[in-house]
Structure 1
């Protein structure tokens, strides 16, 4: 178990500091497809197009405890041909203490996947490398930006629902 933040090490009478404990990390689901092997492994005259999708799925487990799943989907295409597809759901259970309620959601959606990402990235690299390709090293992800996009989408959906008259 690891901890971020001073947590229990606060002096007597001082306000407790926010802390984040990693209770567990694990692969929930992993799939690697190499549908055209061994033909997909031959040298190409140009690099394939690689599409990567990222999703963060939080789930409360009890007071101050959250399961966070980081879902990464990557697909390499050469024209219309799928060279490989890898899907990973990498999870973690986190215990969050002394974080004000209004900050818990962004904390869970930003800090928890930030901790999970390097491990998930390595699993993707290992899977693609073991599949006969160069290891796919996914670029670092800006989880703050992803969270801001999520907040904007939710706000737009709420505005659309308010603008739509009820039948």
Structure 2
């Protein structure tokens, strides 16, 4: 391979380097597993006797808590339950949270940032934990499809508006 003086794009500093992060409206201060529960109620029989793909119910919730000025804890809760007609195969619930600082946002952009953008950052990590945990438990990895957090936010917003109207 010849060296023609060009740089590899992965070697160049990212455009969002340290100089840009100070003015960024959204900063991730930390992320963590707030709570995790995993059950295989009838193991090992339910695992070894699995002859058909189970029906899987996935529920997603996003919660926000004010911590201090411009700093929020956003919690993405994922609940998965896999069942056959006869029995429950597994029940998994993870609350994966992050601490975010949001600065310089107009008031009308704060809730969408908290309920759409912040969960988008958390989701890949929660998804990976779910897949790894199920796979390490002798089950097929539970690969959760991408979530449209904007649609989820709009649906919850409409529910809240309808609830306030009645």
TM over 0.5: yes
Instruction: Report how many residues are paired.
Output: 152
Q: For structure 2, which runs of at least 5 residues remain unmatched after alignment?
A: 1-14
Alpha-carbon contact 1:35-1:83 (below 8 Å) kept: yes
State which of 107, 117, 134 in structure 1 corresponds to 2:113: 107
Alpha-carbon contact 1:6-1:18 (below 8 Å) kept: no
Structure 2 length-normalised TM: 0.85
Structure 1 length-normalised TM: 0.85
**Cα drift, residue 44 of structure 1:** 3.4
Alpha-carbon contact 1:5-1:19 (below 8 Å) kept: no
Q: For structure 1, which runs of at least 5 residues remain unmatched after alignment?
A: 11-15, 161-167
State which of 41, 44, 68 in structure 1 corresponds to 2:47: 41
Partner of 1:116: 122
- CA shift digits 1:60-117 (9 cap, x unpaired): 1111110000000000001140000100000000011111111101110000000000
Q: Following superposition, which runs of at least 4 residues in structure 1 exceed 4 angstroms of deviation?
A: 4-8
State which of 28, 39, 43 in structure 2 corresponds to 1:22: 28
CA distance in 2, matches of 1:90, 1:44: 29
Write the mapping of 1:1-167 to structure 2, written as runs, cut at 5 A.
Answer: 9=20, 19-160=25-166
Alpha-carbon contact 1:26-1:92 (below 8 Å) kept: yes
Instruction: Flag the 1:106–1:5 CA change in 2: closer, same or farther, 3 A.
Output: farther
